[in-house]
Structure 1
Amino acid sequence: MMRWLVLAMIFALSVLNYADKSVLGLAAEPIMSHLHLNYDQFGLAGSSFFASYAIGSIILGTLTYRFHTKNLLILIASGWTVSLLSAYFVESFIGLIIIRVILGFFEGGTYGLCVAHIAKWFSNETRGSAYAIMTSGTTFGTYLAAPILVLLIGSVGWQHTFAVLGLVSLVWAVVFCFFKSQPNEPIQETIATLPSTQEAQFKDIIKILLNPYVLSVMAIGFVSMWINTWVLTWAPTYLTKIVGLDVQVMSIVFAGMGIAGTIFAIFIGRYTDVLFQKNKSLIKSYDKVLTVVLIIGAIAYGITTVVEAPILSVTFLAVGLIMNTCLLPLGTTIKTLIVPKNLIGSISGISLSITSMAGIIGPYITGYLITLAGDDIRSGFNSGVLIVVALYIISAVIILLTRKRKTTFTKNEKTITPVLVESVK
């Protein structure tokens, strides 16, 4: 029972995490009007968040090797509060950059800390579902929180809305203080030969990160981050200015996409868990599903660039975004199965810092393409979407080329080379 309560708290933190990220995009017009920003500057504000996000993911993620993840999670939630409440002091472009940089640093550690914390409470064969639930919080925060945030922004302004999110983060931190750091008894693994059941030295991190299969999983994270930042920064503008939806309808459409994405991601998480339990093979479970998701996503995003009817634009965009909700939990599960258990938080944090480069360059590139297109804003957005299509296709090819790499772990030498476990007897 306790592990599900812990998962519920991590889910809530994920909701807050992405609500904090998405509020910038939802408040784009009032912020740009208030601070007199152009598209390039606003895109840079979105990118600045992910610059510090990358730094925070390394520093806070690697701290899991020495400190309890519970205490680190409380720390980052408190950091969010400080950053968001500081919105009251923002009256310039530089001020906006500063609070987004602070928020980005503390949010950078969220993913690695949450992944490591859940790994303490759930076994290998159930992590697909657990991580799907955890990452569905990002979908809730991005999409389902939109109607509430839009209402708050319209009624009390963007600065008050930022502050409300900061106070909610503080409440979460206080409540989580009363939870245990880990289970009373270690979890029992039914598949004891996976790398995730072993431990390795901190110096082995470089070997793990340079493994081709781990790099391919990081590529998936890069693509997922690119889409997430596009959604957070530009999707509201795309739906209102290109598709032609008004703000309230846009928020409802956002919510609908979130509900569908959440349900589908949790279903896929459970489905891949069942496949893994049956086949004892990553290739025949998580890899197989991941490749199909990438192909479907690429097709859906590509079609959005050629259709003009609002219903078709929304439908195919929704299909693409729903596929994207599966990338993070699938990639996360694979990573936690091929990485030693004591390095999961560190590897997750470092890999996130690398994949977050997509968050740094993605929003700015899209903003640049829109500006470059001049009055033809649709053309600028379509160019950005075609980049996404290319990333999906490339990622699928990389997974197919690297998925048969194997892992070995020698206790005597205390070295590890992570690879895919094809079959566990």
Structure 2
Amino acid sequence: MSRSATPAVAEPQSGSVKAVPTRRRAAFVVGLLFCFMLINYADKVVIGLAGVDLIHELGLSKEQFGLVQSSFYWLLAVGSVLGGLLMGRVRARWLLAGAGLLWAVSLAPMTGSVGFGLLIACRVLLGFAEGPATAMATAVTHSWYAPEKRALPTSIVVAGAGFGPLIASPALTWVMLRFDWHAPFTVLCVAGIAWVLTWVFSGGEGPMGAARATASEAGTILPEQVPLRALLGTRTVIGLLVLFFTSYWSIAVKVTWLPLYLREGLGYTAGQSGTLVALPYAAAALFQVLVGFASAALSRRGASSRVARCLFAAALAGVGGLSTVGFALLDRGIAQLLLLVVGASLTSAGYGIAFAAISDVVPARQRGAIMGVVVALYSLGGIIAPLVLGGLVESAASAAAGYSHGFLVIGVLVVVGAAVSALLTDPERDAARLAAAH
């Protein structure tokens, strides 16, 4: 059967005419989810922006600050799995609102004086609440679009992760310099509450999330339900998990340590660091949207999901890893800054299309659960990476040498992960096998 002759999603069982979403409604929800991811990553990066002043006020060592950064990820996996499982049981309107409200609650104590223990507790709660954010946002996005149209809106939503720090880094740095390091947390707390109120009255899941049978990008009709073990055991899901896990090392370090690296490792001022740290996020946001357009164009030209999504994402991560190795070996200068931006942005540029590839092998009703598990597993890299880098910086002869060694290790890891992912992933093959077996 040809691609054009195969329906992308099974017809809704009742009220099919009313169930079809308007483009305007779908686009509005994508905009809200973009803001959801934007706030999510602004919440992540703010601790790094306030890091120098926070360390000074609380008298923390670099290893202790590494522990603070790592604590964000301690329950992130638990929150991700729980949120993914609840996606099929709780309406998206209330589930995402609850997550956003927890974000605000975790930030509230940071608006005043805190001790080391409370600081850790706030970061653990924030990590738990933000754990399922990416999985929930992408699953809801996919509920509004047919398979062949998911790459671009998913990339736009994921691009919010780049725009969050891009906007937050200079803006929150200005707020911090104008007032104190507590003020940025107040701003983010208020922004989180405002988003929750908007989402409750205007957000929600699309009708395609309730389809009983879905088609992959290749046109293979997926069964209504497949055992989770079978889904997680497909080579495509495993390959994408490897890609996510290894590249997330780079993302976690960028969020947590990059502001300090720019100030302590490379000698930039606080104001310069606040501006420069935004560059990788600007590039990441731009690349994510462009990658979404490019992937959609490849699909329209007949490219398989393996090529348009999986191999494309792996290639981007591989180039990003090589760039990370390059800037770790160079001294401060324009060339190093350019490679830093490319390395920190390309490793995450393919996330949107990679998540779209997961939906090519996962039935609609199980996307939230599978994506939650995938996010939970790859987020473990976020626990390890900040601790490893913090230990290397603490034990090195100089901060610059410690940072360079740490980024070199991360760059090599990303390249290896990209190569493994490229060898394993093939959504068309795995979708056909699942359909035949069930």
Determine the structure 2 residue equivalent to 1:261. 284
Residues 315-371 of structure 1 deviation map (CA, whole Å, 9 limit, x = unaligned): 110111221231321321211222111111111111111111111111010000001
Q: Please tell me whether residue 316 in structure 1 is matched to residue 339 in structure 2.
A: yes
1:281 aligns with 2:304: yes
What is the aligned counterpart of 2:430 among 385, 389, 406?
Answer: 406
Q: Tell me the TM-score normalised to structure 1 length.
A: 0.91
User: Is residue 199 of structure 1 aligned with residue 224 of structure 2?
Assistant: yes
Count of residue pairs the alignment pairs up: 411
1:14 aligns with 2:37: yes
Q: How does 1:2-401 map to 2 (within 5 A)?
A: 2-88=25-111, 90-183=113-206, 194=219, 198-201=223-226, 204-374=227-397, 376-401=398-423
CA distance in 2, matches of 1:157, 1:287: 44
* CA displacement at 1:183 relative to structure 2: 4.0
Q: Deviations over 1:373-401 (max 9, x none)?
A: 03x21221111112212222211221232
Q: Distance in 2 between the 1:410 and 1:338 partners?
A: 8
Q: Point out the more displaced range, 118-127 or 321-330.
A: 321-330
For the residues of structure 2 that align with 1:411 and 1:389, how far apart are their CA atoms? 38
**CA offsets per residue over residues 91-134 of structure 1, 9 Å max, x none?**
32111000111111111121111111111112211211111111
Cα distance in 2 for partners of 1:410, 1:38 equals: 51
Which segment drifts farther, 146-155 or 1-10?
146-155
Q: Could you tell me how far 1:156 is from its partner in structure 2?
A: 2.3
Residue aligning to 1:422: none
3-state DSSP class of the match of 1:158?
coil
Cα separation, partners in 2 of 1:408 and 1:95, compared to 1, 3 Å: same
Measured after TM superposition, the shift of residue 306 of structure 1 is: 2.0
Aligned residue type for 2:414:
Y
Tell whether the 8 Å contact from 2:77 to 2:128 is kept in structure 1 after alignment: yes
Change (3 A) 1:250 1:160: closer
Q: Distance in 2 between matches of 1:306 and 1:177?
A: 49
1:115-172 superposed Cα distances (whole Å, 9 cap, x missing partner): 1111111221121111111111111112331001111122222223212211110111
Q: Contact (CA 8 Å) 2:26, 2:144: kept in 1 or not? A: yes
1:83–1:32 distance in 2 versus 1, CA, 3 Å:
same
SS in 2 for 1:279: coil
Distance 1:289 1:314, change over 3 A: same
Q: Is the 8 A contact 1:196 1:336 kept in 2?
A: no
How far off is 1:282 after superposition?
1.8
CA contact (8 A) 2:76 2:128 kept: yes
Q: Unpaired runs of 5+ in structure 2? A: 1-23
Aligned mates of 2:107, 2:278 — CA distance in 1: 23
Q: Where does residue 419 of structure 1 map in the other structure? A: none
